[in-house]
Amino acid sequence: MLYSVMIDGTTPNLIAFYLATVKHMGGTDAQLQAAWTAHEHYQTPLDVDIETDDPTPWGFGRADLVDVFRTYYGRRLIAPGMSLQDNLVNTLLCNGTSSPPLWTGLFGLYGLPLVHLSDALEVQTAVYAKQALALAASNLDSGLSCLFSEIVGESSRRREAMAAAISSSLAPHSLHRSPPLPFCVPPSPQNAAGERRSPLDILESLAFDGRLSNLPLDLPGYFDHGLYGGRHWSSLPEIRDAVLACTWQWGALDTVQSDSVPGALDALEELGRTAVVLACGTHKPGDVEFDFYLCFLVTLVYSLRTVLVSLQCYGAVQVHAADLVRCLWAMFVLVYILQLRPKMDVALLGTPRPRHEPTSNQFREFRADLGLALPKHQDPFYLRTLRSMAGLAACERDRGWQILINNAASKFRQGWRRWIGFQPSEGVSMNVRI
């Protein structure tokens, strides 16, 4: 039986997310059944005869149409003679001149559609694929879409200018005139040692940006900051300007060709390290806490990595890969601002000193809990963060960072008790400067 993607039209139905997480971690049939039992009481059957006239693009951003989108995309994903991957790429990235593009919706609902898309590619089932597309379309965030459109537009202009400069420099020149000077994209800012600035360097500078002090927002709370009498982030030009400035300060993608998935994956590896520091290196010393929104960035990085690796043979994915990574970085900056720009300390990844275990052992405690009786194993976001962090450690190429990320995963597994970061009253539990 099919079930509704949303509960009461507002809250995501996490049953698919939970089941996929248990399966990714090597869960047994008994654990899958326990996960289902924990969520079955609020499952609402989906009307399979729901109207399926094309709801795009006029229905984008309407959460009440999520099941309409699910049925609509479900039928598009079974085009005869094409694989699930073929249909996914065509629907998501080759949908003509749709404005805003459907792929920008992957970052709506705090990236949950992107996670479902990666699940679809790992589990190889259209059930997750149509849920990913339905959530992306129905929860397409207008603020993020406008921000991403500006980023993609500027990225395209820079690529065109650089291509024109290269072409001009290679063209034959008159003997009576000096060749034109090649166009140079402004170099990315460097640190004091003359090295390209890392995402951590950029966020550390942002922490002291006076433009972002005393904003009329009730923070922290990426989702809920507008619910307590404050304004939405998208209404404040200070936030938009800060996000765009930081987006272009990170130069890892400046030299990535527009059709290079490997180059985008290299940059994504750097974002993965940043995500782990934000997740496990931003608490008060001696008082370990975990911010929900900062920790979920780890999952977003691993999910995007899965998508790019799985679909890298498609030309449309090669064209969009760098832009997807750049937009995820912009989301990092936005989340960091809305979560009060906490202090970051890489040294905290190993304190309190965890019991060092190989990456393969990170799920041992989970696999021993056959009935998912431990409270933390009943929280799908805890499980997904642990799984994503272990996954990043496993694919990290730098040995030093691999050890740090694996230590962070151990620390998270041993120290997690609850989530914080949802509302203003929780700011006192965070290691922030304001």
In a domain, 293, yes or no: yes
Residue 351 belongs to a domain: yes
3-state DSSP call for residue 175? coil
337/252 same-domain check: yes
280 and 414 fall within a common domain:
yes
Q: Domains in the chain: how many in total?
A: 2
pTM as predicted: 0.90
Nearest partner of 354 among 345, 362, 342, 344, judged by Cα = 362
Which positions ≥6 away from 103 have C-beta within 8 Å?
Answer: 92, 93, 136, 320, 324
Are 382 and 240 part of one and the same domain? yes
CB 277 within 8 Å of CB 291: no
pLDDT digits (tens, 9 = 90+) for 163-189: 677 666 665 544 444 443 333 344 455
Q: Do residues 100 and 212 both lie within one domain?
A: no
Are 232 and 302 contained in the same domain? yes
284 in helix, strand or coil? strand
Q: Is residue 181 part of a domain?
A: no
Q: Are residues 83 and 209 in the same domain?
A: no
Same domain, 153 and 115: no
Token pair in block for residue 13? 């139905």
Q: How far is Cα of residue 280 from the mean position of the Cα atoms in its chain?
A: 17
With cut-offs at 50, 70 and 90, classify the pLDDT of residue 160: confident
Number of DSSP helices (H) and strands (E) in the chain, helices first: 15, 2
411 is a domain residue = yes
If asked whether residues 222 and 331 sit together in one domain, one would say yes
Question: For every residue of 25-44, which 3-state class applies, written as one string?
Answer: CCCCHHHHHHHHHHHHHHCC
> Do 364 and 253 reside in the same domain of the chain?
yes
Per residue in 222-269, pLDDT tens?
877 665 556 789 889 999 999 999 999 998 887 676 668 999 999 999
Does 31 share its domain with 149?
A: no
Is residue 205 located within the same domain as residue 133?
no
Q: 108: domain range?
A: 6-140
- Token pair belonging to 149: 């459109």
Helix (H) or strand (E) holding 244: helix 237-249
In a domain, 22, yes or no: yes
- 376 inside domain: yes
Same domain? For 126 and 223 the reply is no
Q: Which residue has the tokens 């965070």?
A: 430
94 within domain boundaries: yes
Mean local confidence (pLDDT), 355-373:
86
